[in-house]
Amino acid sequence: MRPLVWLLWDAASAVLAERFLAEGALPNLAHLAEQGTRAAARPAWPCAQTPPGMATLITGAEASVHGVYGYREAARPRALHSALETETGFDARRLRAEPFWTTAARAGRTVTLVFAPLAAPYDAYARGGVWAPGTGPSILTFDGYGHVLAGQAVHRSSELEKTPEGLRLVLPLAEKPPSVLFKPGPTSVRVEGPEGVAELRERRPAALFLGPTVGVTLVLLALGKDEFTVWRSGIWNVHSSDPEAAEELCQRAGPFLGSGAGHAHREGSLPDPDADYLATLAAEARFFARASAFAVELGADVTVVYEPCIDETGHLFQDLYEQGSERGLALIRESYRLADEHLGAVLERVPEDAIVAIASDHGQQGVRRLFRPNVVLREAGLLATDEAGRIDLDRTKVLYGPAANGFLLVNAEGSLRGIVPRAEVGEVARRAVEVLLAHQDSGGPLLLGAHLAGEVTPSGRVPESDAGDVCLIAAPHVALGTGAVGAAVDVGSGGQHTTAVDVPELDALFLVAGPGVPRLGRLASRIDNADVAPTLARLIGIPRPAHATGRALWDAKI
């Protein structure tokens, strides 16, 4: 049986990967590229946010089939909820198409999933779960993102509580909040946690455990004569289908570090923003590299690992990069370099006969304008707000819902606080489309189109009304905002991947190498991300995932 190690590089773009490969900045990716085939891949349509994008990668099915529609989605069934209620799109129980790893386990392969999106909750894969592998081997999963206990923060020593023992910081955990003590010295800051101590030196990350699978990472950003500044990571708990394995992973890799200081960078709270951000990003990449190394050494037939650094960086700087900024380019290049380092740690450990694949769910697209459909709907009398500017469902016929995944919801009778008679849903949807498409500013069209639920278009089939009643296709470089007051159009910034418009930067990266993989280099034509799972299935000799709509790229010569 041929092993597979599959790296999910969130938001890696084919054009940027090619650029950095040509520069010689990604030695491990270059090594792999020489032995295989790579291509630009069309991301999930109509919404290329991470959950639908990853769902298409792992099921080989388009969104109308796999049923995952965004980071957040209209709460289902819509008839039992109001149009303002949302649910996460990261829950494997919402998938309607079989994931690749279930197919693999059904075919008798052992599987380890390390922080892969849609690998949680474990119940979905356990005996009796919706994606349980039947009589196949059980699937070993590790999840961190699903168990966030606290967000990140930047702390200045002057804001900490002075005690005789040192400067005290209470960590914001809901149950029994632990505290840590900081004791500054001339060149470092000693920090004492409930389960250990660490010495903080400038921009060198230090982790403190708060429990066997819970901990925090601290990075000293600045140390002056009288004051210091420290970045405190978010706090997560690692869950696993095997609790002992979760503890082992944390012992090896440290506490889960699911994001760098992107949030603090956006808020403007970092003393030296770019350098500080990159120090935290490196800490994050190295955590994932250690976790992946641990997982690969477990030796499963199929190991799937996740890499987040490129995505976080693209959301911050994609617009700068697209404007030709050297600074934006350097920051994004560094995120690819860190992902490449992570790849290097994996390649050192993969068996000789393994297939290695890298796939991303989408690229990024710079944001130039922010369009608020709800403002236009309000001006057209289709939506009403209260005094605080919040949507008033009792007087609202249609809205761009808080799920922010591209779908308009008609506030139909039958759902909680719905007011539109069922017979008028289609008419309200069409009226909303009319006023939104008519709205223009001097920068060109804001929307390329709008499709009704279930419509078949040249780009694919629009999901049914469980996703929403109308799917908005934003124009390139336009982000859709959910606000209902203020200007309809504002200047936007950063990067996004919501509407899957056809711009090269938004195309994902697919690369596969190893025994039986043709060495075709870079394919001239674009593939579809739905092709990835059927291709990998064929290469390792298992059936294609049960609901896949994509095609295997070539006949594997095994």
- Residue 345 Cβ vs Zn ion, minimum distance, rounded to whole Å: 21
- Residue 469 Cβ vs Zn ion, minimum distance, rounded to whole Å: 26
For Zn ion, the closer CB: 11 or 223: 11
Q: Looking at 48-56, 70-78, 141-149, 325-333, which segment touches Zn ion (CB under 5 A)? A: 48-56
- Residue 423 Cβ vs Zn ion, minimum distance, rounded to whole Å: 39
| Packed helices 326-347 and 309-322: angle between N→C axes, nearest 10 degrees | 150
- Residue 443 Cβ vs Zn ion, minimum distance, rounded to whole Å: 27
For Zn ion, the closer CB: 70 or 215: 70
Residue 466 · residue 68 · CB < 8 Å: no
The closest of 89, 138, 145, 92 to 287, measured between CA atoms, is 145
Taking CB positions, which residue lies at the least distance from Zn ion?
Answer: 50
Q: How far apart are CA 314 and CA 332, in angstroms?
A: 7
Q: Report CA torsion sign: 101, 102, 105, 111.
A: positive
For Zn ion, the closer CB: 364 or 411: 364
- Residue 10 Cβ vs Zn ion, minimum distance, rounded to whole Å: 4
- Residue 295 Cβ vs Zn ion, minimum distance, rounded to whole Å: 20
- Residue 11 Cβ vs Zn ion, minimum distance, rounded to whole Å: 5
Tokens of 338: 């860190």
Q: How far apart are CA 353 and CA 539, in angstroms?
A: 12
Q: How many residues bind Zn ion (CB under 5 A)?
A: 4
The closest of 439, 447, 489, 496 to 470, measured between CA atoms, is 447
- Residue 37 Cβ vs Zn ion, minimum distance, rounded to whole Å: 23
Q: Looking at 9-17, 108-116, 131-139, 368-376, which segment touches Zn ion (CB under 5 A)? A: 9-17
For Zn ion, the closer CB: 9 or 256: 9
Tokens of 354: 């393994």
DSSP state of 545: P
Query: What x-and-dash track marks residues 91-130 binding Zn ion by CB under 5 A?
Result: ----------------------------------------
- Residue 50 Cβ vs Zn ion, minimum distance, rounded to whole Å: 3
For Zn ion, the closer CB: 11 or 383: 11
For Zn ion, the closer CB: 71 or 554: 71
DSSP state of 383: -
- Residue 53 Cβ vs Zn ion, minimum distance, rounded to whole Å: 5
For Zn ion, the closer CB: 334 or 361: 361
Q: Looking at 49-57, 86-94, 248-256, 277-285, which segment touches Zn ion (CB under 5 A)? A: 49-57
- Residue 502 Cβ vs Zn ion, minimum distance, rounded to whole Å: 18
For Zn ion, the closer CB: 70 or 545: 70
- Residue 486 Cβ vs Zn ion, minimum distance, rounded to whole Å: 28
> Is the omega angle on the peptide bond into residue 3 within 30 degrees of 0, that is, cis?
no
Q: How far apart are CA 48 and CA 50, in angstroms?
A: 6
For Zn ion, the closer CB: 208 or 357: 357
Residue 383 · residue 553 · CB < 8 Å: no
For Zn ion, the closer CB: 10 or 531: 10
For Zn ion, the closer CB: 48 or 512: 48
For Zn ion, the closer CB: 90 or 294: 90
Q: Looking at 45-53, 156-164, 450-458, 483-491, which segment touches Zn ion (CB under 5 A)? A: 45-53
Three-state DSSP class for residue 206: strand
DSSP 485-513: SS-SEEE--SEE--B----GGG-EEEEEE
DSSP state of 357: E
Among 4, 10, 73, 281, binds Zn ion (CB under 5 A): 10
Q: Is 50 in the site for Zn ion (CB under 5 A)?
A: yes
Q: Looking at 2-10, 185-193, 508-516, 539-547, which segment touches Zn ion (CB under 5 A)? A: 2-10
Task: Work out the number of other CB atoms within 10 angstroms of the CB of residue 185.
Answer: 10
Q: Is 312 in the site for Zn ion (CB under 5 A)?
A: no
- Residue 81 Cβ vs Zn ion, minimum distance, rounded to whole Å: 26
* Footprint on residues 515-544 left by Zn ion (CB under 5 A): none
Q: Looking at 6-14, 118-126, 347-355, 516-524, which segment touches Zn ion (CB under 5 A)? A: 6-14
The residues with which 479 forms a beta bridge, in sequence order, are 370
Q: How far apart are CA 255 and CA 288, in angstroms?
A: 10
Q: Given the structure tokens 């990140």, which residue do they identify? A: 152
* Footprint on residues 338-397 left by Zn ion (CB under 5 A): 361
Q: How far apart are CA 513 and CA 539, in angstroms?
A: 10
Q: Looking at 18-26, 43-51, 174-182, 206-214, which segment touches Zn ion (CB under 5 A)? A: 43-51
Tokens of 355: 């297939």
* Footprint on residues 404-423 left by Zn ion (CB under 5 A): none
For Zn ion, the closer CB: 50 or 269: 50
Q: How would you class 163 by CB atoms within 10 Å of its CB: exposed for 0-12, middle for 13-18, buried for 19 or more?
A: exposed
Letter string b/e over residues 362-392, b meaning 16 or more CB atoms within 10 A of that residue's CB: bbbbbbbbbbbbbbbbbebebbbbeeeeebe
- Residue 116 Cβ vs Zn ion, minimum distance, rounded to whole Å: 12
Residues contacting residue 246 through CB under 8 Å, at least 6 positions apart: 142, 212, 213, 238, 239, 240
Cα 92 to Cα 4, 105, 121, 132, 538: the distances in Å are 22, 16, 7, 11, 24
DSSP 105-159: HHTT--EEEES-TT---GGGTSTTSTT--TTSPPEEEEESTT-EEE--EEEEGGG
Q: Is 62 in the site for Zn ion (CB under 5 A)?
A: no
Widest CA span in the chain: 73
> Which positions touch Zn ion (CB under 5 A)?
10-11, 50, 361
